[in-house]
């Protein structure tokens, strides 16, 4: 599925639509360049889950944030990790087994250890405030 947002308000709408599409327990890899809007999309998805988006920030230095809403959100940022072993040492697999959304910024860096059944959102910068979001399901035989 493809979504385009011309501004932050439209990004909120994209986040709402993605939240409605995703199962309540799912792993999502968020991929895009620096500044593409990975954290901003997490804020929009969190808002759709009833979480105050102003409390959602990039976990670059903490690595994982947990947010409680209508669906729990586990927000990872693996940008600074050296390898997949460091990711697994965070207890990522335990999060994947919990009810909730595991949203992983820079998910392409740890894709080899993500569950076979996961989603990927590719984010492309189209302009100063516009973005293209492409949601893909990585195993069409199962529900995430």
pLDDT in tens, the chain (144 residues): 999 999 999 999 999 999 999 999 999 999 999 999 999 999 999 999 999 999 999 877 788 999 999 999 999 999 999 999 999 998 999 999 999 999 999 999 999 999 999 999 999 999 999 999 999 998 754 444
Tell me how far the alpha carbon of residue 68 is from its chain's centroid.
15
Q: Rounded to whole angstroms, how far apart are CA atoms 122 and 96?
A: 20
What DSSP line would sit under 23-74, residue for residue? -SEEEEEEE--TTSSHHHHHHHHHHHTT--GGG----TTT-EEEE-SSS-EE
At 139 the pLDDT is 75
Residue 126: both structure tokens together = 């189209």
Query: What is the chain's Cα-based Rg?
Result: 14
Using alpha carbons, select from 126, 127, 144 the residue that is nearest to residue 135.
Answer: 144
Residue 106: both structure tokens together = 């820079």
Question: 3-state DSSP call for residue 35?
Answer: coil
At 53 the pLDDT is 93
The residue ranges of every structural domain in the chain are 1-75
Using alpha carbons, select from 80, 82, 77, 79 the residue that is nearest to residue 92.
Answer: 77
Residue 73: both structure tokens together = 């959100």
Residue 116: both structure tokens together = 């076979």
Q: Is 66 within 8 Å of 72 (Cβ atoms)?
A: yes
Q: Is 29 within 8 Å of 118 (Cβ atoms)?
A: yes
């Amino acid at each position: 599925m493809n979504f385009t947002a011309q501004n932050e308000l439209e990004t909120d709408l994209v986040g709402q639509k993605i939240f409605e599409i995703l199962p309540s327990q799912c792993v999502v890899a968020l991929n895009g360049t620096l500044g593409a809007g990975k954290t901003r999309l997490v804020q929009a998805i969190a808002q759709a889950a009833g979480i105050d988006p102003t409390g959602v920030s990039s976990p670059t230095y903490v690595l994982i944030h947990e947010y409680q809403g209508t669906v729990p959100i586990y927000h990872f940022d693996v940008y600074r990790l050296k390898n997949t072993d460091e990711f697994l040492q965070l207890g990522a697999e335990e999060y994947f087994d919990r009810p909730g959304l595991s949203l992983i910024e820079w998910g392409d860096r740890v894709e080899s250890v993500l569950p076979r059944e996961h989603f990927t959102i590719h984010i492309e910068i189209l302009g100063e405030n516009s973005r293209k979001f492409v949601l893909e399901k990585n195993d069409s035989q199962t529900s995430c």
